[in-house]
Amino acid sequence: MNRNFWLTLFVLACLVSCNQQKVKNGYTLKPSDDLLRIELDSLTSNISSWLGYYYDPKQGSGLLFSVDPVRNEIERYSLQDGKLFDKMTYDREGPKGVGTLIEIGILGLDSVLIFPPFDNSFYQSRFSDAALNKVAYNKPDEYSPIRSMTNYFSSPAYTDGQYIYTRTLFGGNYMLMENDELSEKPLMYRVNVASGAVEFAHFTFPDDYWADGKTSYEFSTAANDGQFAFSFYGDHNIYVANSFDEELRPIIAKSNYLPADFERLPEAGSREDRLRYFATTQHYGSLIYDAYRNVYYRFCYPKVDLNGSEDVRSLVQFPSAFSIMILDSEFKVLGEKLIEKESQLAPGNVFVGPKGLYISINHPDHPGNLEDYFSFRLFELVEE
């Protein structure tokens, strides 16, 4: 692995940090009147399975990255031009095979990491010369490989040049697990990019997460220059550590739109009952760090009352209402924006750019939804 490459990445991260804006108190997210539209070809879905934005402060430009698992390609789009910038197609098998593209990490405008879903390796890829470098690592038994999913529970892998930090999910049947066992399960490990060695963090599930009954064990994590934060499906706290070697500490950050108590998982119910629970009960979703303004956004989902006609699976991707909490770098709540049913947004497709938070309007019932475009509403952070 080219160490100069990782050093360059670290320097770029520092430059973004130095350009952060100061935020104090009393803020909201104001929707812009203008839509960002990016033209697609007729074969590309306007809901991306993986979406991410990278801005290079030295070049003063950025690109939107999207993964298409059907065609096994990574596409890069220009926000300024509203069009495809270029794309790279990858073999699934063979000497240059990377499997099916599911998750990636953005290293720079020209470089990405590819994380195969069923492989103890990752790949460094460059667009400029189609270079592909495979790096093996010692994935822990019974734990997931490097994860960076952005839909529903954003947890992008984070690198400081020496390590890749990734959330991980435990294997096995969670229905047979009790609170004491869950509380010992690690949430993150890091991979040494030179040796492939793996080391678990001290981060584990909260001691009392299932003390009063089970909720979903899903969680989101966000990193900010060595600070790690975790937001769980059914917990008002955010759990924070200022380094990989610390234990997590809870910080209360309750949404105004979620009640004090969470509904419990229907353990005796069917698979459909559990899907309905996931889609309709009150919970927290993605925790996203905004490096341009040095704030966090925490997505919150109030309880949904079904009338019998809704498609439960569709509600997971297109919730009828949600809110976004705004928290400062110490996780003090600065404000909360409620986005109600008439907004008809797709909060699984979001990204942060220099101007603010972009949320997809490619909801099937949104009047502005166009099949051949990524379409986003810009939400700007403003003082109330």
How many angstroms separate the CA atoms of 125 and 131, rounded?
Answer: 6
Burial label for 120, CB within 10 Å (0-12, 13-18, 19+), is middle
pLDDT score, position 234: 96
3 state DSSP class of 255: coil
How many angstroms separate the CA atoms of 320 and 75, rounded?
Answer: 30
Q: Judge contact between 299 and 332, C-beta under 8 A.
A: no
Would strands 346-353 and 111-115 be described as parallel, antiparallel, or unpaired?
A: unpaired
| Bridge partners for 50 per DSSP | 67
Structure tokens at 6: 């990782």
pLDDT score, position 243: 94
Would strands 373-383 and 132-136 be described as parallel, antiparallel, or unpaired?
A: unpaired
pLDDT score, position 235: 98
pLDDT score, position 340: 85
Query: Which stretch of DSSP H or E encloses residue 167?
Result: strand 163-167
How many angstroms separate the CA atoms of 70 and 100, rounded?
Answer: 8
3 state DSSP class of 156: coil
pLDDT score, position 117: 85
Which of the residues in the chain have pLDDT under 50?
Answer: 1-23
pLDDT score, position 152: 75
Structure tokens at 12: 């770029």
Q: Judge contact between 77 and 87, C-beta under 8 A.
A: no
Would strands 356-360 and 373-383 be described as parallel, antiparallel, or unpaired?
A: antiparallel
SS3 content of the chain, % helix, strand, coil (to 5): 10, 40, 50
pLDDT score, position 88: 96
How many angstroms separate the CA atoms of 9 and 369, rounded?
Answer: 36
How many angstroms separate the CA atoms of 363 and 225, rounded?
Answer: 34
213-216 CB contacts, 8 Å cutoff, 24+ apart: 213/264, 213/265, 214/174, 214/264, 214/265, 214/267, 215/262, 215/263, 215/264, 215/265, 215/283, 216/265, 216/277, 216/278, 216/283
How many angstroms separate the CA atoms of 62 and 55, rounded?
Answer: 4
